[in-house]
Chain A
Amino acid sequence: MQIPYATYPVGNSLYPLALDLFVPTVFFFFLGASYRVFRYLVTYQKPFIPYPSSELRQVSSWNKIANLVNTFANSSRVGIKRKPVTTGVGLLFHIALVLIIFLLAQHMVFWAYYIPPYSALFPLAIPESSEDGLLALTTPNHASITEFVHDIWGPLTVILNGQFLTFFLIIFLGIYLGHKLLLAIEGLSLRAGDWWFFVLLYIDILLGFFATAHIPSNVYWYDNLLGAHILVAEIIIATLPFTRGFHMFEFYLGKVREWYFMVYRRGEK
């Protein structure tokens, strides 16, 4: 089936269209990110420091560095103590998501295509399934591909495989969205941005899963599902600067800022 897209010859699936839109997506992302950063720059005011130094507040450099780790870990530590279920789910969800985005073998091939040095991470690749450890495309498999996904995880692939991590994500992101629904019922704060990012992410995970698991099992659907998976990911990436998703970058900014003012400069403010 030929898919019409203006006068552009798309081919016979969403897949080539999705690939062609990757570069414009990145462009839009940088445009949005620049806008977000620009707003910070124009509203920046140099803080006034009343005490340039405090003889009473000498904290060793070692202590300051150690506290940097603490600054990043504190949220999870307190969360595990006081809100163990939601914190645990949140942490596991993040770990699974990061592993799957950056180390799933298929994703690595994609990233390495656009950023060639990324291939240095190939030894860490996570296979699609624990059963064969192969890029679950079609047979016959190329020998080098087999080697590529068989490198260091060994027996851990029982857990560290695309399918397992995807189930994990589907369940935990489902719990998260269900939780949001409960909050909406209770009348607590919810924003459109929360839904936009997380619902798109959920859809994307499902699309990726259906594509790689070959459901339904034919090449026509495979190409379209994979294309749709990439397209939704592109929508997520292009809109990141305007959604909750941007926290993956700002998280570091916020925590380093907290550390700088609360720990590093504690003696001064």
Chain B
Amino acid sequence: MSVTMGQESINLDALKRAIDDVFYSQIDSTILYYLQSCVNCKACEAACPFTPTSLKYSPVNKAEIARQLYRSRFTVWGKTIGRIIGGSKKYLNLEEAETMADYVWHCTNCGACMFVCPMAIDSGALIDLLRQVAFRAGMAPKIYTDIEQLEVSGKYWDIPVFRDAWNNLILKMKEVIGKDIPLDKKNSEVLFYASIYEAMVYPDVLVKVAKILDMLGKDWTFMSKPLGIRPPVGLVIGDKEGALNVMKKVYAYFTEMSPKYVMLTAGGFEYPALRYTMHEVLKVQPKYEVVHVTELLAKWYEAKEFEIEPIDEVITWHDPCQLGRRGGVFEAPRVLMKALSKNFKELPSHGVNSFCCSRGGGGCGLPSMVENMAKVIGIPISEKDKKFLDSTLEPLIKAGKIKVNEINKIKASEVLTGCPVCIESIGFSIDYYHANAKVNHIIELLADRIKVTKK
């Protein structure tokens, strides 16, 4: 099955330029290692949420296109015999370009393949290179680029639905706390960061976080205006330049606010992007630290600032790929989960081997969610976009089955996690397979079970 592109046709000249630009500018020793050291053992198949859909979506098979392009430029064999026997390709023909476009949307950059690969090769990083090629060549689905361009241009704030969602969120926070909430306050301990996307998909979680911060008497502040739809969403669709512009704005705001911690409730791609990528790309060492809400709560819990009233049910933690594998947050959520229930059980695949729900980066959320978002902001959905979005459903169903089987195996009644997209996709799978469990952000359960011991 080949994914239909949002654009009318593939511009092969633009594709050639994109291939040249991306491959010549980005090969460093790490990427070089990934490109030339694969033994084609296919161990990575075991980790990828897309291989249950088809073996052609195995990490090594998808990344092979990057290797073919690399060999044609950087190896002696690739320049000579490789071309004759098809092992290297200077550019791609139409069919190969379509295959590439299909493959790049079958990778969430979840990083699972790297930990399972005996050679520690991050195929996701190579597929990300191809995604950048696809974006530059105008091959990214239009519905994604339209949404992303709204963020890059800053025009998202002109959209009434977004404004309303944000302003309502602030109102709701005030209502629950019973007083004004601090907005854009400089030098506070915690800058509570959220995106429009979160304000739309789980406003209750954000309100509960505000309530916890207030209860604990923390010196905190919220944002009067969001910094993007889900910044820097360009990173997910291969628009490095767009992402860079957005990151500059985000960094400027964080620096101006100058908190001790920038605290995120989302553990999707924004976590490693805002914690690491943003500073690495801008080459700045921030005075603040970007953290996930579980990291701060675990720290405060261990400092005995509050107690947690436990429940008896079997609960489990789903490690979001970006928060865990890419971001390095494994311990903190477990401190809270163990306090939340003596019956906390690990999923069979957890930690660095957590099985990705097949959404997020490169999956870009549930198709229905993307469609709804497009509708409310007035982006027309073409036939091709619709077809593309529908085609993303099969991997979700296939990967979801594995996830649901794992949840059933440990008989968990509730799956807690820390990423909005994981919540949506696992929720979808639980419904689809009629599993006897529910999925929530950890804050949903935690907020009502916190007993403050000191202020």
Contact = CB atoms under 8 A, between A and B. Distances in A.
Interface of A: 36, 39-41, 43-45, 47-52, 54-57, 59, 71, 74-76, 78-79, 81-83, 86-87, 90, 183, 186-194, 242, 244, 246-247, 250-251, 253-255, 257-258, 262, 266-267, 269
Given A45-B29, A50-B279, A189-B64, A254 B120 contact: yes
A41 B29 CA distance: 7
Contacts of A71: 120
A82 B46 contact: yes
B1 interface: no
Given A40-B33, A191-B87, A244-B40, 14 more contacts: A40-B29, A41-B29, A48-B283, A49-B285, A50-B275, A51-B279, A56-B299, A79-B43, A183-B42, A192-B82, A193-B87, A255-B118, A257-B33, A262-B115
Interface stretch (B52-60, B130-138, B365-373): B52-60
B346 to A, nearest CB: 14
A266 B81 contact: no
A14 to B, nearest CB: 27
B43 A257 contact: no
B37 A189 contact: no
Contact of A39 (B32, B85, B87, B291): B32
Interface size class of B (residues with CB under 8 A): 35 or more
Nearest to A63: B331
B285 A86 contact: no
Nearest to B277: A50
Interface string B52-77: 00011010110010010000000001
B46 A247 contact: no
Contacts of A57: 328
B121 interface: yes
A197 to B, nearest CB: 9
Given A50-B276, A242-B77, A78 B87 contact: no
B10 to A, nearest CB: 21
6 contacts: A40-B29, A51-B289, A191-B67, A192-B77, A257-B120, A262-B352
B40 A48 contact: no
A52 B279 CA distance: 12
A interface, over-half SS: helix
B256 interface: no
A252 B366 CA distance: 39
B47 interface: yes
Nearest to B272: A269
B40 A189 contact: yes
A56 B290 CA distance: 11
Nearest to B291: A56
B119 A247 contact: yes
Contacts of B286: 50-51
Contacts of B37: 246-247, 250, 254
A56 B332 contact: yes
A56 B352 contact: no
B280 A48 contact: yes
Given A40-B29, A50-B279, A269-B276, A86 B42 contact: yes
A232 B328 CA distance: 46
Contacts of A76: 118
Nearest to B41: A90
A247 B119 CA distance: 8
